[in-house]
Chain A
Amino acid sequence: MCSVALMGMIFEDDSSGAWNEMFEAPGKPRPIYERLFAEIDRFDPAELLQRSDQLSHTFLDRGVTFAHSGEERPFPLDLMPRLLGAIEWDLLERGISQRVRALEAFLGDVYGAGQVFEDGVIPKSVVTTSSHFCRAAHSIEPPNGVRITVAGIDLVRDEIGKFRILEDNVRIPSGVSYVIENRRAMTQTFSALFSNHRVHPVDSYPARLLAALRLAAPYGIGDPVVVVLSPGVYNAAYFEHVLLARMMGIELVEGRDLVCRSNHVFMRMTNGERPVHVIYRRVDDDWLDPLQFRPDSVIGVAGLVNAARAGNVALANALGNGVADDKLVYTYVPDFIRFYLGEEPLIENVETFRLEDPDVLGEVLQSLDAYVLKPVDGSGGKGIVIGPQADEQTLTSVRDAIIMSPRNWIAQRPVALSTHPTLVDEQVSPRHVDLRPFAVSGGQGVWVLPGGLTRVALGAGELVVNSSRGGGSKDTWVLNDQLVAPRGPATDVGQPPRNAGVIPRQNDEYTDQEAEQ
């Protein structure tokens, strides 16, 4: 195997054993990437590097940052976009929608009748021992029945090219601002690439979100006042709160700007007060209402939970959704899909082991270095131990932690996440990527933003891609190529159709109108 010289740059060989998103063999791009590969080849390497610089400057200028280890940093955007074909995307879209519908039904059941326990689909104790199970959410009915207004479902592609669900994020998933900003920066910097690809636009997201939030309004409120509630400038995702509020044209508020009176919520304005009907809240449950949760919270609003219970304000996402994000609950989601929807899961989970079973626990403890070990309530990659890469000391301490509370851990088969050529230190090298599509729902079906956030781990061999762990991202293109019949037979997501991405037409201009549906 040899490295491939392209545009004077070296594409480092991919020896990871993972699925390479771009190449099916060294130097041979997958059909969907052929056009991009050829296009990029026309650039002079020096110019490409310069454009890469330009990309990061665009980000700095616009203030697209992420707080990493207490430090405000730009979230690096890689210039090589990640491509998804229409047929593959169609399956992902349906699979994500299915997942969100099942989780929605599960949450409604958990905070309502509890049929799922009666029928023995999941032990009740799994739910009641989840740290995010919220008893205060019991019997609070969202006016439009939607608890998951926004979901971020994390996917990875395994060694044979099959997408799998890695985790569900239905509390306050973040990252969509990077999807919007990445696209904006890429179209500015690489407009030529877009002229030969029909890429689904992503800029309708704020309008979709606002429409969903308005549908969440309390009964009888025809023209609801919707606000974004942020914890404030010190939150890692503050940039996103500002961006979404601005793009939706609604107020960005903090806890101190809102007041509850007799279960109605008001926003303090310079010229008086205004009622608030829907709150897109980016504050965690624990901090949301000091009367119900942490009494020391100064970023919440006292009385908010009872205002929601009384039906005078809607919280999006709803209280208590975190129980669905619990990684032990995750192992039951395929059963929820069968139980609530009567369907087979379109996208499988990563193979996961429940450690509450003493036999399974014993087996896992015997060869910890063969598993990925995850705390069930972690987010942002916190606490994850990649067995095969961990040192003795790490394995010993994770072993102790697991023995102490098996309920709080899961073990997963290590998946060599797919890799994507990525510009690192003036060279193009394979780096592991994942995909977080975003789904929005106002109660009239689930809409999935085409593409989503492709996160890339910038360290060689690094498998944890979270932005909070210092990763970067890629613009993610869903190609609008459904008019083109694939040359090969259409297959399921396990075997991406070889030719699904080929677009024979040469001069189609990318416009918002034609791709928007």
Chain B
Amino acid sequence: MAKASYNEARMTPVATHNQSVRQAHVSVQPSVPLYSYVDYFGTTVTAFDIQDLHTILEVEARSTVESRAAILERPINWGQIRDERLVDTYSEYLGATARTQLSHEALANAAAWPGQLDLHECARAVGDFVRTRVQYVPGATTVSSTAEEAWSRGEGVCQDITHITIGLLRTLGIPARYVSGYLYPSSDSDIGDVVAGQSHAWVEYFSGVWTGWDPTNGVGETENHIIVGRGRDYDDVAPLKGIYQGPSSSSLGVSVEMSRIV
């Protein structure tokens, strides 16, 4: 039970070249005034506070998004990616954060890749490598785990696999950022069928343009990937963060429901 709580939700899909947002609505129970702004990373934030005693906080984000698969652009070369001006512009996506920092052991294999591969091939190779070394095991880690913890454990969820992949790409000098979003599980469902989707995380790396890669599934950014926001790591795009006064008894549940409408 909370006496007062202050919260920020990052659940509204962002408009991109391949994704247009037809409608987006966030609602909160108990009902309170909502304030929305766009943060440093371009993510729409819904902020609100609840002053009355409340035992349940429900945040519902409902959006209608038109999306299409990204077309892979020809990558710039290794010389260009190391251009001084480019490195400066994207420096926030080249440095390690506490979440993406990796040990030397994890990095040992990475050094060999840039030689033979172009940027796209390299990003895939890194993602594939991480997927072979870190098993996707739901519940193996927590929302606050670091890349290093998941790496040592050899298990993790999409958030961890993404953090590790980002850590490796940055070490190779490829700007990489964390994408928070939703994944529509299958393109085969009928129009109007409500299916269980999931909160998902993947990577965007810079190859002349920002290019998506989903290392957990070994695929690019398809029309099933709905982008909410990007940041240096999970902490910049956490779907819900908040603080409250009261005994610590909170349990958090998330469900994602998706349906095709065309």
Residues of A within 8 A of B (CB): 117, 123-125, 128-129, 135-136, 138-139, 260-263, 290-291, 295, 302-303, 306, 309-310
Contacts and interface: CB of A to CB of B under 8 A. Distances in A.
A168 to B, nearest CB: 23
Given A135-B40, A306-B47, 17 more contacts: A117-B89, A124-B88, A124-B91, A135-B236, A136-B39, A136-B40, A138-B40, A139-B38, A260-B49, A262-B32, A262-B35, A290-B243, A291-B7, A291-B8, A291-B241, A302-B49, A303-B49
A309 B37 contact: yes
A128 B242 CA distance: 25
A135 B40 CA distance: 6
Given A125-B91, A136-B40, A261 B47 contact: no
A263 B8 CA distance: 13
A410 to B, nearest CB: 19
Nearest to A118: B89
A310 B47 CA distance: 11
B210 interface: no
The 10 residue pairs across chains A and B that have the minimum distance between CB atoms:
A125-B91, A138-B40, A135-B40, A302-B6, A291-B6, A123-B88, A303-B6, A262-B33, A128-B92, A306-B47
Nearest to B245: A302
Contacts of A306: 35, 37, 47
A302 B91 CA distance: 31
Q: How large is the interface on B (under 10, 10 to 19, 20 to 34, 35 or more residues)?
A: 20 to 34
Contacts of A302: 4, 6, 49, 243
Contacts of A309: 37
A125 B6 contact: no
A128 B89 CA distance: 10
Interface of B: 4, 6-8, 32-33, 35, 37-41, 47-49, 51, 87-89, 91-92, 95, 236, 241-243
A263 B35 contact: yes
B6 A260 contact: yes
A291 B88 CA distance: 30
Nearest to B37: A309
B35 A310 contact: yes
24 contacts: A123-B91, A125-B87, A125-B88, A128-B91, A128-B92, A135-B40, A135-B236, A136-B39, A136-B40, A139-B37, A139-B38, A260-B6, A261-B49, A261-B51, A262-B32, A262-B33, A262-B48, A291-B7, A291-B8, A291-B242, A302-B243, A303-B49, A306-B47, A309-B37
A200 to B, nearest CB: 43
A123 B4 CA distance: 42
A117 B89 CA distance: 9
Nearest to B93: A128
Contacts of B35: 262-263, 306, 310
Contacts of B47: 263, 306
B39 A262 contact: no
Given A290-B243, A291-B6, A138 B39 contact: yes
A260 B6 CA distance: 9
Contacts of B33: 262
Contacts of A139: 37-38, 40
B243 A295 contact: yes
Contacts of B7: 291
B246 to A, nearest CB: 13
Contacts of B32: 262
A310 B45 CA distance: 13
B243 A124 contact: no
Contacts of A136: 39-40
Contacts of B40: 135-136, 138-139
Nearest to B49: A303
A263 B7 CA distance: 12
B92 to A, nearest CB: 5
Contacts of B243: 290-291, 295, 302
A139 B41 CA distance: 11
Contacts of B6: 260, 291, 302-303
A303 B39 CA distance: 15
Nearest to B84: A123
A260 B8 CA distance: 14
B49 A262 contact: yes
A355 B246 CA distance: 48
A125 B242 CA distance: 30
Contact of B89 (A124, A138, A290): A124
Contacts of A260: 6, 49
A466 B243 CA distance: 37
A140 to B, nearest CB: 9
Nearest to B33: A262
A124 B51 CA distance: 40
A380 to B, nearest CB: 26
Nearest to B38: A139
A139 B87 CA distance: 24
Contacts of B89: 117, 124
Contacts of B4: 302
A261 B6 CA distance: 9
A90 B8 CA distance: 49
Nearest to B242: A291
Contacts of A125: 87-88, 91-92
Nearest to A297: B243
A260 B95 CA distance: 35
